[in-house]
Structure 1
Amino acid sequence: MSSASGNTRHQEPSPRPRTHVSSRFGGSPLGKLAPTGTQPWIVLLEALLLPALALVLGWWLNPQDPLWINADFQWAWLAPMVVALRYGPLTGLLSVGALLAGWWLLQQGRYEQFPQVFFLGGLILVMLVGEFSSLWVARTRRAESMQHYLHQRMEHLIRQYYLLRLSHDRLEHELIGRPMSMRDALKTLRGLGSTQSDAQTLLDLLSQYCQISAAALYSMQGEQLDTQPLASMGAPSALDTNDPLVRQALETRKLCHVVQTLALKQQSQYLITAPLLDLGGEIYGLLVVDDIPFFALQEENLQTINLLLGYYTDGLTTQALAQPLLQHWPDCPAEFAFEMQRLWHMHETTGVPSMVVALEFTPTAIERDLPQQLLRLRRLMDETWLIEGPSRQLLAVLMPLGDAATAEGFLARLENWIHQKASTSLADAGIFPHQLPLSQTPPLALLQRLHEIADAQ
């Protein structure tokens, strides 16, 4: 049985690296034209050069009428339209001004023949195109923000899945020979912070679970690594920032080992280098391993190191973002506060709403254990917080990327569930829902409102 399970374990795919859809088209000509410049001088240069290029081509192909005013199609307007499509109506208006200045220079004093209809119609067309561009740019940014959020949640779920798989395998095959289980390791990591003692605890945990003999953990100071280790174990050598394995780990933002440098015919004094990355891709530090047993330098052990480091840095991100809320409400779960802060920031930048549904339970409902039963009915992406009041309980359900319709659908599902279970309604069962849009109330004020509902007599 153990051999069959081991074969199954090796056949399962490893976590897929992060990819971006846009990278598929980066090498094509259209892919190179699609991205817009972010620097203001690049935008200004395009807004002026494209109309100038249209004037030069018009003067070369049609010297008598460079702007194609009397032609069947006014080709010169393509330049301002392209600028408006890329950067919006204001930049398109600047491009129209450049086209008008070009006409002014080409006329050489014959300004009484100003083509009013030509420029008026073209200006209206460019403004319409610019408004269309602005609308779709806003929609695209909103969709990208939602996609980025969902990608982060998927990365989190992937990490949780592989940690659960590793925990099951270790419990089945190696629990007797191991000093601790994966569950114990995760429980230890969940309470760690960014202090030196916590970093030392992380290294001790990696030593016990991944058989690392000598290693050091270095923190990131801005864009550079601190050469003094935050924590160390064994007898690690001094950090060499020019070591090929260190450079490769920082450039690729992935765990690297000595086999990769040998394949590239490079020499490294380290065996493993692994960056500490959160879900957003920010580097917190670098783990440098000098000594590890030969048989421990295998794929499953490397994957365990990577996942434990990722779980640790996820905890650091959660603590940093949730700290302002936890200072006022220490009983609030860190995951709930972290998700609320992140969704509020998303709403401020993109306008994507989220919803908190607060289910108020009377003593009768509490006696029937309804709060715990409803906890099991939450959606996969939701975060929950059960607040204990003087005489009642309040279950707060945070629904990411949801609005009033999402909350109504959730309450309708609960209504149907309570009707099938007890042939009654939510109100008759002692459950009273409250809808609190996160888009209208900042997180701190919303938590205050939840406690007010829970403490009401």
Structure 2
Amino acid sequence: MHSKIRRFFGAPPKHERGSLNLHLRDGGDVTGKVLGRLTSTSVRPAAVLGEIVFLPLIAIILGLWLNPEDPLWTAASFPWAWFAPVILALRYGPLIGLGGSSILLVAWLILNAGNYDAFPKLFFLGGLILMMLVGEFSSLWLARTRRAETIQLYLDQRLEHLTRQHYLLRLSHDRLEQDLISRPMSMRDALIKLRLLRGGSKTPADSAATLLRLLAQYCQLESASLHSTDESLSAPELLASIGNAEALRKQDPLIVQAIETRRLCHVRQTLNENEAGTHYLIAAPLIDLNGSIYGLLTVEEMPFFSLQDETLQTINLLLGYYTDGLVMDNLANPIVAQLPLCPPEFAFEAQRLWHLRQTTGIPSVIVALELLPRAIEQDLPLQFHRMKRGLDENWLILGGEKQVLATLMPLGDYSTAEGYISRLESWAKQKNDLSLAELGVFPHTLLLDQDAPATTLQRLLRLAND
């Protein structure tokens, strides 16, 4: 395509290409040339005043040299002296040209002192008309040029802004693409895998290896290890490792800080306090709801850009979910003791998600569907139970005349509950052409936040018995 364009328009000769490239690199500016200096206007008042005075004087001096008898060429076939005011009018407009014309008028009065009766009226009238026309033309094009330069400056700024935005968008797209490649599963899929670890015949080493693989996939860990230990770090046992993980350094300042504070610590926190530094990037103890330490995760190598708040929150989430799953009975028993009708799985999941809310700040929500007798007659509780998602837990509470189907939705908030209720509304419209209220279903939303899970679940029982 480019070769066709060159053949059509003709390529410049080789000896001209260097000057053409230089011209393009300089932005097409010719002010360095003599002709460019003549065509460029000055913005300094002193320089403009000097041009008003010296250009007409130069014309008068040339006239005295070439035509001493008539220096202003008033009787000649062409008024050469008017070139000075015309040039001034072309460069700066009619007012500056009028200043140059006054110099010519003063010069004529001086050169013809005592002979004012022979004043060349047509000479000066025609010159003034010519100068005004040229000055008006110059003012018009100067205004257009300034407007074009302003528009060009604006377009250049917009282009620069759009170029930066495009570059940032491209970087963001590349980052998202990299994250999608490294995280083909969603966080819910990872939690389902961790939930399955508490069942079956898997050994602690197998469960720890699965946890490390999930952490490596979601948090881009390159070298890490998981040890089984307690607060004293007396006899740490290696459960699983990835990469080139070395033996545990129990006296490392990052590990000491993580055990003392009983929370995840990373290298930026210790470098500010311990000049000796640390061998690890992240140290995170595995702590259950009761504050007992079951193990320790240490990370030695990971990409620089992966060490951020989102990654640390993900590590906290997966470790907390995994640790709570190891002590399901201990978590569920306090709630089951207060609410014997509550299924242990539902109680355990509520207690674990509430614990995650306290440690990581990620909320969960319960959607309670209050079902009136006409809804129960249509077998809606069973149909709603079949519509639950993979991570959700259901609890059907039987009341005196009505029932309450509670759906515990992990890692969700009010918007998640609204989406679920909207899905039920759409289902009711498609199947019965009625709304949930017309079917006898009234949804309620409870957030697992500050209140203890037992308090929230008691509200569900009161809702079923009111």
TM-score (norm 2): 0.38
Instruction: Give the structure with higher Rg (CA).
Output: 2
Greater relative contact order (Cα < 8 A, sep 6+): 1
TM-score (norm 1): 0.38
